[in-house]
């Protein structure tokens, strides 16, 4: 009743794609989070006016489709930078990680800023008047409290980046959806293959999203 | 400065074509939002209905829409339904895919908004003699839509950005598709997509700014 041309090799191709999806996500999210924290703290410290250029640049990453960001970055690096600097070709993987990291950073800076703003100003004044330096105040007072506010949204962001990493096929990175596409072209069994592909995303995303929701409920202040 | 000669004139010459594409993009986004909001309200009603089957359908819809990539959803509508012998045009596939995604995210927003509306209001409406349906449509729903106005505009921006995913189902009349077709012919990838990026940026900014003005106008107390 159930016939399929799917072989173990094909499943291995899908697994490799899944691994690539996770790898790109891991690199982009960790880089992006570090950048996002730096940008977020900067934006908070500079205040709305002086941070305007930074806010604008980060806003651009949120207002342009990721697909176009990837194409533009790839074209800029490989058609313009590479001949100018006379360096070797930059792989799609590097470009994808870079763009996704900036994309993560743009959203993450917003989350970080929100987290810092959620720490009561009086608490910080108290810590400073106890003789803590700015760094000590940031590390010992603000960070633990801001993390509570920010972590649930950060989990949401990380999952969003995982789902958006499906777009890196455009710069020739063989991730899960791209490999599924390749197999669909060969086997002509779109439904089965797409089900497998969708199931993978769902199985990773769903439990973590639930966990984020749980944290949000558990850690909310009321 | 760069070892590359930009040809902006050539790209600007095709600006009218790209603006036509932008119009299609806006159309798709608006239509998908209209469909999405309608379905999201239905899903919210389903979830509150207490009927196991209906709330199961609604929860499944929301979880699948929120936990798989939008690209996958559009792909599924086009090629997955193709497996059942239902062949849709790229335009319809893209529209349905985005509407499906919108509905899932908006239903979740609506659920959050409903938490902010006291249950006593429904009871008061019911004791004034309204039916369950009347209480929902006349008392609860307007407030729900008001609370989730900003999330709705966010989703609208997402819908605009998501139209670029039509590339995967060979959509060639929206802004991304038109730009892609132009670059395939001219190999001026950077110039054309830079212009497309600016158009996308302007569209999303116009939406967010006008939404903010509209909210200030509509929701002042």
- Given a cut of 70, whether residue B167 has pLDDT beyond it is yes
* Proportion of chain A above pLDDT 90, given as a percent: 54
User: Which domains, ranges and CATH numbers included, belong to chain B?
Assistant: 8-218 (1.10.3720.10)
The predicted structure's pLDDT at residue A221: 63
- Within 10 Å of residue B48's Cβ, how many Cβ atoms? 17
The predicted structure's pLDDT at residue A60: 93
Average pLDDT, stretch A7-27? 90
Helices H, strands E: what count in chain B?
A: 12, 0
The predicted structure's pLDDT at residue A43: 92
Average pLDDT over chain A, rounded to an integer: 89
Q: What is the pLDDT of residues B100-156, one digit of tens each?
A: 999 999 999 999 899 889 989 999 999 999 998 899 999 999 899 888 999 999 999
Domain annotation covers residue A142: yes
CB contact under 8 A, B71 and A166: yes
d(CA A205, CA A202): 5
CB contact under 8 A, B76 and A194: yes
- Within 10 Å of residue A47's Cβ, how many Cβ atoms? 9
* Residue A73 in contact with partner chain B when CB distance is under 8 A: no
d(CA A201, CA A208): 11
Domain annotation covers residue A4: no
Q: Residue A91 is part of a domain; what is its CATH number?
A: 1.10.3720.10
Interface residues on B facing A, Cβ-Cβ cutoff 8 A: 1-4, 63-64, 66-72, 75-76, 79-80, 82-84, 157, 161-165, 167, 176, 189-190, 193-194, 196-197, 200-201, 204-205
A215 lies in which domain range? 9-219
Instruction: Please identify which residue in the block is written with the tokens 């400073």.
Output: A128
- Within 10 Å of residue A215's Cβ, how many Cβ atoms? 14
**Residues from chain A contacting residue B66 (CB–CB below 8 Å):** 205, 209
Average pLDDT, stretch A182-200? 86
Domain annotation covers residue A2: no
- Given a cut of 50, whether residue B185 has pLDDT beyond it is yes
- Given a cut of 50, whether residue A99 has pLDDT beyond it is yes
Domain annotation covers residue A190: yes
- CA distances, B124 to each of B48, B117, B143 (Å): 18, 13, 15
- Given a cut of 70, whether residue B29 has pLDDT beyond it is yes
* Proportion of chain B above pLDDT 70, given as a percent: 99
Give the largest Cα separation in chain B, rounded: 76
Q: What is the pLDDT of residues B121-133, one digit of tens each?
A: 999 999 999 998 8
Q: Considering CB atoms only, which of B83, B190, B200 is closest to A79?
A: B190
DSSP assigned state of B164: G
- Within 10 Å of residue B174's Cβ, how many Cβ atoms? 27
The predicted structure's pLDDT at residue A33: 96
The predicted structure's pLDDT at residue B189: 87
* Residue A63 in contact with partner chain B when CB distance is under 8 A: yes
Closest CA to A197 of B66, B101, B75: B75
**Residues from chain B contacting residue A167 (CB–CB below 8 Å):** 69, 71, 165
Give the gap in angstroms from C-alpha B40 to the nearest C-alpha of chain A: 20
CB contact under 8 A, A164 and B69: yes
Average pLDDT, stretch B183-210? 92
Q: To probe the interface with A, which of B2, B67, B177 has the most A CB atoms within 10 Å?
A: B67
- Given a cut of 90, whether residue A68 has pLDDT beyond it is yes
Total domains in chain A come to: 1
Task: Pick the residue from chain B with its C-alpha nearest to A82.
Answer: B3
- Given a cut of 50, whether residue B195 has pLDDT beyond it is yes
- Given a cut of 50, whether residue A1 has pLDDT beyond it is no
Q: What is the pLDDT of residues B60-113, one digit of tens each?
A: 999 999 999 999 999 899 988 877 888 889 999 999 999 999 999 999 999 989
User: Helix or strand or coil: residue B84?
Assistant: coil
Q: To probe the interface with A, which of B68, B168, B194, B199 has the most A CB atoms within 10 Å?
A: B68
pLDDT tier at A2 (50, 70, 90 boundaries)?
low
- Given a cut of 50, whether residue B187 has pLDDT beyond it is yes
- Given a cut of 80, whether residue A47 has pLDDT beyond it is yes
Closest CA to A116 of A39, A204, A27: A39
DSSP assigned state of A86: T
Average pLDDT, stretch A130-156? 91
pLDDT tier at A82 (50, 70, 90 boundaries)?
confident
Give the gap in angstroms from C-alpha A100 to the nearest C-alpha of chain B: 15
**Residues from chain A contacting residue B18 (CB–CB below 8 Å):** none
CB A57 within 8 A of CB A123: no
Q: Which two tokens stand for residue A57?
A: 């640049």
Q: What is the pLDDT of residues B38-47, one digit of tens each?
A: 999 999 999 8
- CA distances, A218 to each of A215, A222, B7 (Å): 5, 10, 56
The predicted structure's pLDDT at residue B42: 94
Task: Pick the residue from chain A with its C-alpha nearest to B1.
Answer: A84
**Residues from chain B contacting residue A81 (CB–CB below 8 Å):** 2
Average pLDDT over chain B, rounded to an integer: 90
Task: Pick the residue from chain A with its C-alpha nearest to B63.
Answer: A206
pLDDT tier at B24 (50, 70, 90 boundaries)?
very high
pLDDT tier at A3 (50, 70, 90 boundaries)?
low
């Amino acid at each position: 009743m159930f016939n399929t041309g799917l072989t173990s090799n094909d499943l291995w191709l899908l697994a490799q794609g899944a691994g690539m999806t996770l790898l790109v996500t891991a690199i982009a999210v960790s880089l992006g989070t570090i950048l996002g924290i730096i940008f977020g703290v900067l934006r908070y410290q500079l205040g709305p006016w002086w941070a305007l250029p930074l806010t604008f640049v980060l806003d651009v990453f949120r207002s342009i489709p990721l697909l176009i960001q990837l194409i533009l970055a790839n074209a800029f690096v490989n058609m313009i930078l590479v001949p100018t600097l006379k360096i070797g070709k930059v792989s799609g993987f590097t470009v994808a990680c870079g763009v996704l990291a900036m994309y993560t950073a743009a959203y993450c800076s917003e989350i970080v800023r929100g987290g810092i703003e959620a720490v009561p100003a009086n608490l910080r004044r108290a810590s400073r008047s106890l003789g803590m330096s700015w760094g000590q105040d940031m590390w010992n007072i603000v960070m633990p409290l801001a993390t509570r506010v920010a972590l649930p949204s950060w989990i949401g962001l990380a999952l969003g980046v995982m789902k958006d990493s499906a777009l890196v096929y455009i710069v020739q990175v063989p991730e899960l959806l791209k490999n599924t596409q390749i197999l669909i072209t060969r086997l002509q069994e779109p439904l089965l293959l797409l089900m497998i592909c969708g199931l993978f995303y769902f199985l990773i995303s769903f439990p973590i999203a639930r966990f984020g929701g749980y944290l949000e409920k558990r850690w909310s202040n009321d | 400065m760069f070892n590359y000669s930009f040809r902006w004139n050539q790209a600007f010459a095709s600006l009218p074509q790209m603006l036509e594409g932008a119009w299609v993009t806006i159309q798709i986004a608006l239509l998908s939002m209209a469909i999405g909001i309608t379905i999201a309200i239905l899903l919210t009603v389903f979830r509150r209905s207490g009927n196991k089957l209906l709330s199961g359908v609604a929860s499944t819809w929301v979880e699948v829409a929120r936990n798989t990539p939008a690209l996958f959803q559009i792909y599924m509508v086009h090629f997955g339904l193709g497996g059942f012998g239902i062949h849709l045009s790229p335009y319809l596939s893209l529209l349905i895919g985005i509407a499906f995604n919108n509905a899932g995210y908006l239903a979740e927003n609506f659920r959050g908004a409903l938490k902010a509306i006291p249950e006593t209001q429904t009871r008061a409406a019911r004791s004034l003699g309204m039916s369950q349906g009347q209480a929902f449509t006349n008392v609860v729903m307007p407030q729900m839509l008001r609370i989730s106005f900003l999330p709705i505009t966010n989703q609208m921006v997402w819908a605009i950005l998501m139209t670029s995913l039509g590339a995967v189902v060979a959509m060639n009349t929206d802004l991304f598709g038109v730009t892609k077709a132009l670059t395939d012919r001219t190999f001026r990838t950077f110039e054309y997509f830079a212009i497309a990026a600016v158009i996308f940026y302007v569209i999303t900014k116009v939406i967010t700014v006008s939404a903010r003005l509209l909210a200030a106008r509509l929701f002042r107390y």
